[in-house]
Every structure is written in C-alpha cells, then in structure tokens.
Structure 1
Amino acid sequence: MINKKKNKYKSFIHKIIENDLVHMKKKNIHTRFPPDPNGNLHIGHAKSIYINFKIAEQYQGKCNLRFDDTYPHINHKKYINSIQKDILWLGYQWNQKIRYASQYFDKMYKYAIQLIKKNLAYVDKLKKEEIRIYRGTLKKPGIVSPYRKQTIEENMLLFENMKFGNIPEGDACLRAKIDMQSNSIIMRDPILYRIKFLEHHNTKNQWCIYPTYDFAHCISDAIEGITHSLCTLEFQENKKIYNWILNNIDINHYPKQYEYSRLNLEYSTLSKRKLQILIDNNIVDSWNDPRLPTLSGLRNRGYTPHAIREFCKKVGITKQDNLIEISSLESCIRKELNITAYRTMAILNPIEIVICNIPEKYIEKIKILNHPKNKNMGYRNIIFSKIIYIERNDFQEKSSKNYNRLTLGGSVKLKYSYIITANSIHKDCNNNITRIFCTCDLTNKNKKKYGIIHWISKEQAEQAQLILYNHIFTTKNPNKKSNILSYINKNSKIIKNGLINSELKKQKKINTYQFERIGYFYKNKKFSENKHPIIHQIVQIKKKNNII
C-alpha cells in the first residue's frame, strides 16, 4: 500500500514505482545491491544502499545483496566480509541468503550458447588492442571483425574450446553480434565472455571463462526476479546492452533499469582505483584510514550510521550530477553529536598556569552537567587546583584588538570556574613561554564581561594523542585532475600530544565527546591499547574555532 502522506516529496524513482504498483505492472517491489567485491565500500555506495534498501522497505518489498563476482580477484573473500559488515553497520538486512553472480555461471553459459545458436554471438580472435581499435570512436564508426562471419558451428566449437582451456588467455573472447555502425559504442559487438586462468573464490577452478559485467548483471537481475534495477548514471548507456541481452535470450522475467546521479563529494575521490593509489603510495594507511570516505574509514573516525543515512536522505535521488559540499556530510554528524555527545575539556597545545594566591594542596570540586541541555546525562566533577593547563593560543603577552583571551596583565574567565589574571611569565632559553603565573578571584564565578576559555587541572590531566583531520586533497574536485598525487594535503592528519580529562579512561561505554571549543572526538577500540590514549577528531564544532 502506498502512503502518500509520508511521501510529500517524491523522487522520479518513487513516482515510477508507485505508478507500477497502481497499474499492477508490478505486484511486489524487488531491488538489489550488487557490489563488486574488489575494495571497501565508500560513501557513494552508502547512497546506493540507502536507495535500494529504503525503497524496498517503503513499499514492503525485498532487497537482495548480490556480489558481482564475475571477475576472479585474490581478495574477494576479504572484501565480501567487509561489505557485509558495512551494510549491517548501516542498519540494513538483505533478503534471505547472500547471492553471488557466480552461482549463475551455469545458466549464463547456456544463455551464451543460445545467442551463438541464434547467430547473435561469435568468438573473436582479435587481440584486446585490436578490438579497441576496430570498435571506432564517437566520430568514427566501427570496423567489422574478420571473425564475425564464422558459422554457428565454428563458433560453437571455438566457445567450447574456450571453456575447456584449449585457447590461451587473450587469444579469443565471445562477442555479441549487434551493430558495428551503431551510434552507441557499447552496442558495437560488446564482449560477453573472456578467458582468465585464475581461481575463483566461489567456483574455484571449475571455469576458465568468465562473463563480463554487462552480460552477467541483467541475467542475474532476471533470475532473481528483480523488478527495479537501480543504478547510477554511468550505466545509462549500458542499459542498451542490458535490454538487448534480455530480449534475445529465452528468459521469462524482464527487470527495468533506472539511473540516478552518483554521489560526488568535495575534496574526496570515490574511485576505487584512485583510493588504491592513495594506499599504494602510503598517503593513507589502509582502506580503513579515517581520512578516506570509505564506510570503514568513517566508522573509525567516529561517524555514525544514523548520520550517514541522514546525509543520503538529504542528498536525495535526482538525475543531475553535482558536487556535494563536504559541509553537508559534516553537518549531519555534528547535528547528531550536538545532542548525544558528552561535554568535556581537552587541551591540544598545553601551557602551564600557576595560581599563586591559593595554597599548594588546594583542591575544589566543581559539579557540572555532562550535557548543558540534558540533565539525564548526569553530572561530573571537575577539579580546580593550584596548577592548571590552558591552550597556548589562549594566551599572548600583549593585548590586541578583538583578542578577548588571556594577556599579560589581563584577565579571563575559566569555564565553569573563576576569573584569573596573568601577572608574570617564565620563558626558556629559546624565549618560549613555559609557565604563566596568575592570581584568581575566588569570590565570583559568574562575571560575564570577560572572555571564556577551557582548561584542565593537573590532578585530572592525562596525556593523550589527539589526531586532527582535514581534507586529504587541496582541490575541491580531485577527480578532474590527471595526477591526484599532485594535490595531496600534507596537513590532512595532525597529531597533537595534548591532555584529556583522566575520567575518559574510566568511561567504558562512552565513546564520543565534545571537547569544548575544539570539536567532536571519538575514542575507538584502540583507545586503551597504547601508553597514551589515542582519540580521533570526528568533526570540528566550527572551522574558524579550531585550535591548532
């Protein structure tokens, strides 16, 4: 049943589906998510997952998870496991068992035989480079292969020899016989099967010929009863071969393909090939690096499934390609964490403050809320003592216009605590300030005319590595650059040996925090494995306020 109230805004795909349901063209909606297991999923895949699973959910349908494993890959199993983990982490469950394109290899082979017997496919012995040249260009028509005129019997024999490994790799392939003069290059006798003497993770060494994506994808969709094959605009031309294959084999179910714009994100690349370049050149540590737009990378950085789903919802479903602002993704996680993250204080670049007018062992506990707008999150105690630490950037010797923090002879308010006045400083032999001597006004915590800074007492200070992240590229659209390595941001990862509140080590169930005035941070599973805890920045509170 269609709930119109819940769909005030309907994408063109929603309208197509609802029209199909109303006119009984389709009784049940059946979608699929068909990743190629040759790398980790990224934020672009999250959009595809969201669309396919969400649409199935909205219309009480089903969504299959099918791995497009038509090409043998040494790391298939590794990526299959990581993809399953990412989908479940996002909060989706596929329909029944996991499916593989490879489980249909027997049927695909029979369909290839059908095309040969209908004189709609032939075995070509041209080399790969020759096929590319013969195919022509957008301005130049294709050239017919000299092997195109072979008889059905000759093609049957050659294809059988391909199957049994009697022809060397690269010496033959099976091509559809369509139209070498077509305006669409993809219809100029596309390759359907190629020879690869590689072991497959699923079929082992049963096959040495493997179907191409274009041949396998439409047949897999048809076998599984997919009603709406939803994919990105880059496959718009492929729809021609998708329909041609289904119309020329003896199959009962005919899925329909619909295309939407792919996700392009500022300062990022979602090309698996280019992501691999970053890994191979040690620009990032792995597919899981928190700087990458992979789902595992975002998870390690502290992004939540809810924030990513909200981002996909905000991006929407259109046919218009555009470059999405990175701030759009950041605003989704910031909005969530503003509600859910515990508040605390941390220091990135500490400098010591000595409060001269209080006793050596002076300790005062100050009770504050863990979240200023949510008492249900409880309270905590912070300690005010003789020695505290503030950010080095929160002090300068001379006052200046628009600087409302601590200066020599000036005053500032410590958040939740007292007003302090800087009276003198100590410098080392390199003229660097190492200590600031202050006095504090213990009579009043509530004066509002002073600037406010954050701080940590020596009694609660715990050394930690705070890792700050920035864009990995210096250009908004690295995909338009021929050499992405020329646009690497050398400051995409900055490690600060700072201070956190020691209470963080005791809080086992809390992983995300707002470090006041700095940003939102995440302690992952490796938090306690190192001598000094490691905490990752998720996102800044506001870019202009980041303290480095």
Structure 2
Amino acid sequence: MAEIENRPSNFIRTIIDEDLNSGKHQSVHTRFPPEPNGFLHIGHAKSICLNFGIAKDYQGLCNLRFDDTNPEKEDINYVKSIQEDVKWLGFNWDGDICYSSNYFEQLHDYAVELIQKGLAYVCFLSPEEAREYRGTLTEPGRNSPYRDTPVEENLALFAKMRNGEFKEGECVLRAKIDMASSFIVLRDPIIYRIKFAHHHQTGDAWCIYPMYDFTHCISDALEGITHSLCTLEFQDNRRLYDWVLDNISIECHPQQIEFSRLNLEYTVMSKRKLNDLVVNNQVDGWDDPRMPTIAGLRRRGYTPASVREFCKRIGITKQDNMVEMGMLEACIREDLNEHAPRAMAVIDPIKVVIENFDEGKVEEINASNHPNNESMGSRVLPFTKELYIESEDFRVEANKHYKRLVLGKEVRLRNAYVIKAERFDEDEQGNITTIYCTYDAETLGKNPSDGRKVKGVIHWVSASHSIDAEVRQYDRLFSVPNPAAADNYTDVLNPDSLVIIKGAKVEPSLANAKAEQGYQFERLGYYCRDNKSEGLVFNQTVGLRDSWAKMDQGE
C-alpha cells in the first residue's frame, strides 16, 4: 500500500480505503462507461484518469463499457474514436470491451421481474400527458390511469412491445415507485421505450430499448463493479440506481459515488452543443483543434502526459468550479518545454540580404535540438546570402525597449552571426520589402554576453533552403469565459479563434516532421504538424507564455 499512500488522496480514495480495510471488498473494480453518441472531451479525460488510475493504483480492474441504449444517436465511428482516445491517454481496459447491448436479454428479463412483482407497468400516456402528470419541483405528481393495470395484462402488453405490435411513442414501460416523491427521478420513471432503429451492435433484433438509468446500474452489477464513479448531475439518479438493484434478484450492488464534473473556461462541455457546432459547420469536425475533445487536443499538439497532469492538478472534489484555461495551457507548455525539439520558422517573412556574404555560398551551422538535453541531438541550418526574418523584427526607428533589428543597429541571429541593418527597400505604398545588412564573421557561436553590445536575438531561415508551410494560429473558441451562461452560446463564438497563414517559411529540418510531433518554433510558441492535412501544415499548440498575454516587445 506504500505506493498508494504516497499519492495525493481524495474523498473517493478515502471511501475505497475504508471499504478494503473493513473487508467490504477484497479488490477494486471500476469502469469507464461512455455513451457512443459523440467524441470524448477533456471532461471525459478526467473520468478516464480517475477510473483507470484508481484501478491501477489498487491493482484492480477497469472495464471499458459502452452504454449503448440509444441507437438513433450512436455510431460505430464514435465507438472506434473512444477506444483510440483511451489508448492515446495511456490506458487500457481489462478483458474484452463491454457493451450494455450485450445484456439486452438480461435487462429485458429484469424488467419482466419488476412487472411480476407489481413494480412496473405499461403506460399509454402521451409525452405531453406524462409531463402534466409528473408534477413540478413544488407539486407532487399524479398516478397514471394505467398504474394499476393487473400484472398479467402488463406482461402481455410488454410482450407486444417487444414484438413490435405498438407504434413508437404509443406506450412505454414505467417503474412503479412514488409519484409524490420529492425526487422527480423517482416519479415512475420510464425504463423501456419503443424505437424501430437499427443498432450498431444488435442490428434489428430489438425494437424496445432500455433507458440509461435502468441499464447503467444493472450493467455495473453484472460486471461486478465495486465503485461506480460518475459526475454530480447523477446525484439524484443514485436513488433510482439503488432502487432498481434493490428490487431485482441480482447479487452484486455497486456503490455509486459522485464527483464534480470539469468545467473549463472558454468552452462548452455539453456533447449536444459540441455536436451542434459540428453539424452547423461552425468548426471543422469533432477533431477541430479548437474543440475541447480529446481528438481535437491531440490534433492541436497536446500530449497524453500533459492531459494526465492537468487532470491530476485539478483534483477530485464534490464542489463544482470553473477551471482556468491557463491551467491546461500551463501543463502542455511545461511538457513541451522539456520534450519538444527546437526549430525555426518565420510566419510573416521579410527578406534580408547579407551584402558582405559571398553569392552562392552555403554555410552549414550546427544547432542543438534542445538547449538543455544533448541526447536530443542537433540539426544543420543552412546560412546563405539571402535570409528571411519576421517583418515585425525590423524597425527603421525604435526606442530602447525594442530589442530587435533597427536601422543602423546590430542584432544577433539565433545560432548564427551578428548582423547590422544598413539600408532597406520599400514599395510604392511604403511597405519595406528588403533589408540590406552586413554580418560579422567573427561572431558565430559566440555567447550573447561576449562583451559585444547587441540588444537582442531574432530567428531566421535561409531564403533559398527554407520550405513553404501553412501555419494555423488558434485562440479560444469562445470570447467569454462561460459561454454556457450566454442566452445563445453560438453568439459568443470567437471570430478570431482560427487564423490561417499561408506562405510561412520553415527550416529544412521540418520537411519530414511527423504528425502530432511538437516543436518549439523559437520565439513564437509550440507547434505540431497537423495529422489530417496534406502538405506541410502546422497547428499552433500554445504560446511560449499565456496565450492571451501580449508579447513583451523587449523579448
């Protein structure tokens, strides 16, 4: 237990420790139960890390189970993407993948058992009538006129439902609990409904499908789950969870424990809202790098380790709160700062001509791939007479705080020489087109503190050896911290969340950059090659500093 004791604790681990110490359980068995009706998001990553992490720490088991009870909204592509996300995060499930649909026959039999006990009935109220009978938060509900239908008649009606003898919406099977309960979830909830829909696992074998709340608890029990961990919105549903298991002949009774869901600034965590963004083409699919989905974060350049670290830092509590986006960005920034190789890219290029460098000469400069990790090796930077630098890195005049290239002043080129701006060309509109410089051949490899009064260091690429690339700069998807609180969340979409820059120039070592491999583009930020686009396309992962903080001109 030493390894467990050294880990940060939380109230769930305290409960598990007590259960093991008391002998209530001999081992721990958790599960991650996504509904295959969309891609997973960062909130699901928190649940993945919790469930799989606890199973690992306690040397227990963790199932991956798809709670696939709504075939109209589910898709096999979602099933595949969820498996990829779990593995990408660094986890694997025990045994075969589980599906609630594997238990459809058993679930049906348990529904029949409830009918036989007089605890379920077939109801023909319309949805509108059912809402009227349900009552409100302050007023009790009223019994359905079908509530006292005899057991034998209910069994016959339920058999007809299964045989497809009723239309969709014509009737449902409801649990008989308490229409006066202060918990609306216990006011005779629906446990089966009719749907003539093709299921991605069972095909057309069924035309009745169990509701999630009825299915989930029984699936947990059938799999021998000890601790069923879910978010706080299911807190009231725990009463139905326990009621179902208490009233059917099943031996295992897992304990449902709720924790706070993840709320992250500048995004939404509702799969329905995320799906609307995809369907309405307001983003480029579920894996758009602006989306909070695991696939989107992966495409943007986030690493599994950074996501796991983020989930560790936010912790597990019972109190809802809004997590700052900066905390997530800090995790990936720290990870990439340590592990990402360095490279140079010029996003808004302007030409520099080194007048005292020989025409046609190519000097190969050896540059380290990481300033603090020699094991990452080095690459060759071709230095030529014509270079590109960022247009913002040159000014004709500037104050003392501007530490870049100024007319008549010197600046150091990263990994290369000190150059001095002598003159420049401009077009008819007054835009500078070319900067003419001289270089000091004695300054290669010299330390910036070598006594020479050079104000700053800028990055560059060879004009003749650089490669054209597209760079995609990303910002927050929404313009306000809590878009879910807006009257219409789509009204607060950030119109500048994506800026596509064509014609960027990158050093030749990036020609064979692997998809999702993170690089620090020196002085610019962290980028990775896009995993879907053809050609050389780089996605901005995160800035070198807070992504909404203005870069200090004295950098």
Query: Alpha-carbon deviation of 1:154?
Result: 2.2
Closer, same or farther: CA 155–195 of 1 in aligned 2, 3 Å: same
- Is contact 1:2–1:59 with CA below 8 Å preserved after alignment? no
Look up the SS of the partner of 1:39 in the other structure: coil
Deviates most, 375-384 or 469-478: 375-384
> How far apart, CA to CA, are the structure 2 residues paired with 1:2 and 1:482?
50
In structure 2, give the amino acid aligned to 1:450.
K
Of 491, 516, 523, which residue of structure 1 is paired with 2:522? Answer: 516
> How far apart, CA to CA, are the structure 2 residues paired with 1:297 and 1:324?
19
Closer, same or farther: CA 509–271 of 1 in aligned 2, 3 Å: closer
> How far apart, CA to CA, are the structure 1 residues paired with 2:305 and 2:164?
49
What are the superposed Cα offsets for residues 355-394 of structure 1, whole Å, 9 maximum, x if unpaired?
2223323433322211111111112222322211110111
Deviates most, 408-417 or 92-101: 408-417
Look up the SS of the partner of 1:147 in the other structure: coil
What are the superposed Cα offsets for residues 45-92 of structure 1, whole Å, 9 maximum, x if unpaired?
111111111101111110111110111136521111111111111111
> How far apart, CA to CA, are the structure 1 residues paired with 2:374 and 2:3?
38
1:536 aligns with 2:539: yes
- Is contact 1:348–1:547 with CA below 8 Å preserved after alignment? no
> How far apart, CA to CA, are the structure 2 residues paired with 1:509 and 1:469?
17
In structure 2, give the amino acid aligned to 1:120.
L
Query: Alpha-carbon deviation of 1:323?
Result: 0.9
Closer, same or farther: CA 449–432 of 1 in aligned 2, 3 Å: closer
- Is contact 1:517–1:546 with CA below 8 Å preserved after alignment? no
- Is contact 1:526–1:534 with CA below 8 Å preserved after alignment? no
Deviates most, 77-86 or 413-422: 413-422
Query: Alpha-carbon deviation of 1:526?
Result: 4.8
- Is contact 2:515–2:528 with CA below 8 Å preserved after alignment? no
Closer, same or farther: CA 545–385 of 1 in aligned 2, 3 Å: farther
> How far apart, CA to CA, are the structure 1 residues paired with 2:21 and 2:193?
43
Look up the SS of the partner of 2:464 in the other structure: helix
Look up the SS of the partner of 1:270 in the other structure: coil
Of 465, 477, 493, which residue of structure 1 is paired with 2:498? Answer: 493
Mapping 1:1-400, distance limit 5 Å: 1=1, 3=3, 5-7=5-7, 9-73=8-72, 75-400=74-399
- Is contact 1:517–1:545 with CA below 8 Å preserved after alignment? no
> How far apart, CA to CA, are the structure 1 residues paired with 2:250 and 2:428?
84
In structure 2, give the amino acid aligned to 1:511.
Q
1:471 aligns with 2:447: no
> How far apart, CA to CA, are the structure 1 residues paired with 2:276 and 2:324?
23
- Is contact 1:136–1:142 with CA below 8 Å preserved after alignment? yes
> How far apart, CA to CA, are the structure 2 residues paired with 1:13 and 1:384?
58
In structure 2, give the amino acid aligned to 1:16.
I
What are the superposed Cα offsets for residues 312-339 of structure 1, whole Å, 9 maximum, x if unpaired?
1111111111111111111111111111
* TM-score normalised according to structure 2 size: 0.94
> How far apart, CA to CA, are the structure 2 residues paired with 1:105 and 1:32?
19
- Is contact 2:62–2:93 with CA below 8 Å preserved after alignment? yes
Query: Alpha-carbon deviation of 1:546?
Result: 5.8
Q: Which runs of 5+ in 1 are unaligned?
A: none
Query: Alpha-carbon deviation of 1:352?
Result: 0.5
Look up the SS of the partner of 1:459 in the other structure: coil
In structure 1, give the amino acid aligned to 2:84.
K
Deviates most, 147-156 or 386-395: 147-156
> How far apart, CA to CA, are the structure 2 residues paired with 1:438 and 1:144?
88
> How far apart, CA to CA, are the structure 2 residues paired with 1:508 and 1:113?
56
Closer, same or farther: CA 115–508 of 1 in aligned 2, 3 Å: closer
> How far apart, CA to CA, are the structure 2 residues paired with 1:223 and 1:472?
41
In structure 2, give the amino acid aligned to 1:468.
Q
1:410 aligned residue: 409
- Is contact 2:353–2:437 with CA below 8 Å preserved after alignment? yes
Closer, same or farther: CA 74–240 of 1 in aligned 2, 3 Å: closer
Look up the SS of the partner of 1:288 in the other structure: coil
Closer, same or farther: CA 112–393 of 1 in aligned 2, 3 Å: same
What are the superposed Cα offsets for residues 502-541 of structure 1, whole Å, 9 maximum, x if unpaired?
12114569932110001111124456x32xx111111111
> How far apart, CA to CA, are the structure 2 residues paired with 1:213 and 1:507?
45
- Is contact 2:119–2:176 with CA below 8 Å preserved after alignment? yes
> How far apart, CA to CA, are the structure 1 residues paired with 2:330 and 2:149?
61
In structure 2, give the amino acid aligned to 1:536.
N
1:422 aligns with 2:428: no
What are the superposed Cα offsets for residues 210-263 of structure 1, whole Å, 9 maximum, x if unpaired?
110010011111111110000000100100000011111111111110000111
1:504 aligned residue: 510
- Is contact 1:518–1:546 with CA below 8 Å preserved after alignment? no
> How far apart, CA to CA, are the structure 2 residues paired with 1:472 and 1:507?
27
What are the superposed Cα offsets for residues 174-199 of structure 1, whole Å, 9 maximum, x if unpaired?
11111111111111111111111111
- Is contact 1:135–1:188 with CA below 8 Å preserved after alignment? yes
Look up the SS of the partner of 1:460 in the other structure: coil
What are the superposed Cα offsets for residues 263-293 of structure 1, whole Å, 9 maximum, x if unpaired?
1111111211111111122111111111111
Aligned length: 544
Mapping 1:443-458, distance limit 5 Å: 443-444=442-443, 445-446=446-447, 447=452, 449-458=454-463
In structure 1, give the amino acid aligned to 2:47.
S
> How far apart, CA to CA, are the structure 2 residues paired with 1:53 and 1:231?
13
- Is contact 1:393–1:547 with CA below 8 Å preserved after alignment? no
In structure 2, give the amino acid aligned to 1:535.
F
Closer, same or farther: CA 102–4 of 1 in aligned 2, 3 Å: closer
RMSD: 1.9
> How far apart, CA to CA, are the structure 2 residues paired with 1:120 and 1:508?
59
> How far apart, CA to CA, are the structure 2 residues paired with 1:169 and 1:246?
28
Deviates most, 432-441 or 386-395: 432-441
> How far apart, CA to CA, are the structure 2 residues paired with 1:501 and 1:252?
65
In structure 1, give the amino acid aligned to 2:490.
L
In structure 2, give the amino acid aligned to 1:300.
R
> How far apart, CA to CA, are the structure 2 residues paired with 1:297 and 1:505?
23
> How far apart, CA to CA, are the structure 1 residues paired with 2:73 and 2:131?
27
> How far apart, CA to CA, are the structure 1 residues paired with 2:532 and 2:510?
14
Closer, same or farther: CA 244–289 of 1 in aligned 2, 3 Å: same
